[in-house]
Homo-oligomer: A and B are copies of this chain.
C-alpha cells in the first residue's frame, strides 16, 4: 500500500517535470517569435498553451485523488500539497510565455524589440529558458543544492530588467512610446517567469527538507 503510494507520488513529480519541459519549450519559442517576428512561431506558443493547461488539470486530479484516498501525513502530505502549488506556478509560467508571444504577434510583420535592445531582451529570454530547464532537473532529482543556486541567479534577471529600463529611458531613445511599453511589459513577463522558477525550486527544497527558503527571506 505505502509502496504503491510512493510510486504514485513519484509519478506526480514525473508529470511536473514533464510540464516544466513543455514550459521550457514555450519560453524558447516565445523568445524566438519575439526576436524574429515570425507569426507561426508565436501561434505555436499561443495554441500550445492548452496542452499545458490540460496537463495541469491531470496533475491536480491525480494529486487530489492521492490526498483523498491515501490520507497521507507529515512529509507525504507536504509533498502532495507542494505538488499542487508547483503545478499552478508552472501553468502560470506557460501563460506568461503566451503573453510574450502575443506581443510578438501584435507587431508582425515588424519585430517588437528595436535592434539596440535586442541583446538585452534575447539575454532575458535565454536566462528564463535556462532557469526553467534547471527547474525540470531540480524536480526530477529533488536537487536541493541546485534549487538554492537557482535562487541566487534570479539577481541576473533583475539586473537585465534594470538594463532594459536604462536603455528605453535614455535620451537617445528613438523608437517612441509603443516600443518602450512593449519592452517594459516583456521585461515584466520574463521577470515573473524567473520568479516562478525560483518559487518552484524553493518548493522542492521544502519537500526535501521541510524548510521553505522563501519564508525566511520575507
Which residues of chain A have a CB within 8 Å of any CB of chain B? 50, 53, 57, 64, 67-68, 71, 73-74, 77-78, 81, 84-85, 88, 165, 168-169, 173, 176-178, 180-181, 184-185, 188, 215, 218
Known: A67-B77, A67-B81, A88-B85. A177 touches B178 (CB 8 A): no
Task: Flag if B53 contacts A218 (CB, 8 Å).
Answer: yes
Q: What number of copies of this chain does the assembly contain?
A: 2
**CA A177 – CA B169 in complex, angstroms?**
7
| Cross-chain contact of A185 among B85, B169, B178, B184 (Cβ < 8 A) | B184
Check A57/B188 contact, CB under 8 A, given A81-B67, A85-B88.
no
24 inter-chain pairs at a CB distance below 8 angstroms, sorted by A residue, are: A57-B215, A64-B77, A64-B81, A67-B77, A67-B81, A68-B74, A68-B77, A71-B71, A81-B81, A81-B84, A84-B84, A84-B85, A85-B88, A168-B181, A169-B178, A169-B181, A173-B177, A181-B181, A181-B184, A184-B184, A184-B185, A185-B185, A185-B188, A188-B188
Residues of B within 8 Å of A180, CB to CB, are: 177, 180-181
Q: Which residue of B lies closest to A185 (CB)?
A: B184
Tell me, in angstroms, the Cα distance from A107 to B88 when the chains sit together.
35
